[in-house]
Amino acid sequence: MIKGKTVILGITGSIAAYKAADIASKLTQAGIMVEVIMTEPATRFISPLTLSGIVGRPVVTSMWELSSEFSIEHVTLAEAANVVVIAPATASTIAHLAAGTADDMLTCTVLATKAPVIIAPAMNDNMYNNPITQENIAKLKARGFIFVEPVYGRLASGKIGQGRLAEIDNILGIIRSNLGQEGDLAGKRICVTAGGTKEPIDPVRFIGNRSSGKMGWALASAARNRGAEVLLVSAADYLPETAGIQVVKVTTAAEMAKAVSNAVKSADALIMAAAVADYRPKDYAVKKIKKDDTSLTLELLKTPDVLMEVKGNLLKVGFAAESENLIANARKKLMGKKLDIVVANNIADTDCGFGSDLNRVTIIDKNGRVEALPLMSKREVADKILDWVVELIFEGGI
Ligand code: CTP
Closest ligand 1 atom to 309 CA: 7
Which of 161, 178, 195 is where one domain is finished? 178
Q: Are residues 242 and 370 in the same domain?
A: yes
Q: Are residues 273 and 149 in the same domain?
A: no
Task: Provide the domain limits for residue 207.
Answer: 184-395
Using a 6 Å cutoff on CB, does residue 227 contact ligand 1? Answer: no
Q: Are residues 201 and 339 in the same domain?
A: yes
**What whole-number distance in Å separates Cα of residue 247 and Cα of residue 253?**
16
Q: Are 37 and 69 in contact (CB under 8 A)?
A: no
Q: Are residues 79 and 22 in the same domain?
A: yes
pTM over 0.95: no
In a mutational test of the pocket of ligand 1, which residue from 301, 319, 385 has the highest number of ligand atoms less than 8 Å from its CB?
319
Q: What is the pLDDT of residue 155?
A: 85
Q: Are residues 352 and 240 in the same domain?
A: yes
Q: Are residues 167 and 249 in the same domain?
A: no
Q: Are 150 and 166 in contact (CB under 8 A)?
A: yes
CB within 8 Å of 101: residues ≥ 6 apart: 107
Which of 122, 145, 178 is where one domain is finished? 178
Q: What is the pLDDT of residue 396?
A: 64
| Overall domain count for the chain | 2
Q: Are 191 and 247 in contact (CB under 8 A)?
A: no
In a domain, 1, yes or no: no
Residue 136: which CATH number? 3.40.50.1950
Q: What is the pLDDT of residue 3?
A: 83
Q: What is the pLDDT of residue 74?
A: 67
Alpha carbon separation from 114 to 75, 77, 142, 179 (Å, rounded): 10, 11, 15, 13
Amino acid in position 4: G
Q: Are 252 and 234 in contact (CB under 8 A)?
A: no
Residue 295 CA to ligand 1 center (angstroms) comes to 29
Tell me the CB-side half-sphere exposure of residue 17, using CA atoms within 13 A.
Answer: 22
Q: Are residues 12 and 144 in the same domain?
A: yes
Alpha carbon separation from 92 to 107, 199, 248, 254 (Å, rounded): 11, 52, 38, 51
**pLDDT less than 50: residues of the chain:** 68
Amino acid in position 59: V
Residue 275 CA to ligand 1 center (angstroms) comes to 7
Q: Which DSSP helix (H) or strand (E) runs through 217?
A: helix 214-225
- Atom 4 (ligand 1): residue with closest C-alpha? 305
Give burial (CB, 10 Å; 0-12/13-18/19+) of 324: exposed
Using a 6 Å cutoff on CB, does residue 260 contact ligand 1? Answer: no
Closest ligand 1 atom to 304 CA: 8
CB within 8 Å of 222: residues ≥ 6 apart: 379, 382, 383, 386
In a mutational test of the pocket of ligand 1, which residue from 197, 252, 271, 272 has the highest number of ligand atoms less than 8 Å from its CB?
272
Q: What is the pLDDT of residue 72?
A: 57
The predicted-structure confidence for 79-127, as pLDDT tens digits, reads as follows 999 999 999 999 999 999 999 999 899 999 999 999 999 999 999 999 9
Closest ligand 1 atom to 342 CA: 15
Q: What is the pLDDT of residue 395?
A: 77
Which of 178, 201, 222 is where one domain is finished? 178
**What whole-number distance in Å separates Cα of residue 128 and Cα of residue 134?**
7
Q: Are residues 167 and 191 in the same domain?
A: no
Pinpoint the alpha helices (H) of 281-344: 306-309, 326-336
Q: Are residues 343 and 208 in the same domain?
A: yes
Q: What is the pLDDT of residue 2?
A: 78
Q: Are residues 238 and 146 in the same domain?
A: no
Q: Which DSSP helix (H) or strand (E) runs through 370?
A: strand 370-372
**What whole-number distance in Å separates Cα of residue 11 and Cα of residue 54?**
14
Measured from the Cβ of residue 106, the count of other Cβ atoms closer than 10 Å reads 28
The strand pairing partners of 232, in sequence order, are 192, 247
In a domain, 145, yes or no: yes
Q: What is the pLDDT of residue 397?
A: 52
Q: Are residues 63 and 169 in the same domain?
A: yes
82 carries an active-site annotation: no
Q: Which residues of 116-155 are buried (b: 16+ CB within 10 A; e: fewer)?
A: bbbbbbbbbbebbeeeebeebbeebeeeebbbbebeeeeb
The predicted-structure confidence for 280-318, as pLDDT tens digits, reads as follows 999 999 999 998 878 999 999 999 999 999 988 899 999
Amino acid in position 306: V
Q: What is the pLDDT of residue 229?
A: 96
Using a 6 Å cutoff on CB, does residue 278 contact ligand 1? Answer: yes
Q: Are 391 and 397 in contact (CB under 8 A)?
A: no
Residue 298 CA to ligand 1 center (angstroms) comes to 22
Measured from the Cβ of residue 79, the count of other Cβ atoms closer than 10 Å reads 15
Using a 6 Å cutoff on CB, does residue 257 contact ligand 1? Answer: no
Smallest CA-to-CA distance from 349 within 315, 313, 381 is with 381
- Atom 21 (ligand 1): residue with closest C-alpha? 320
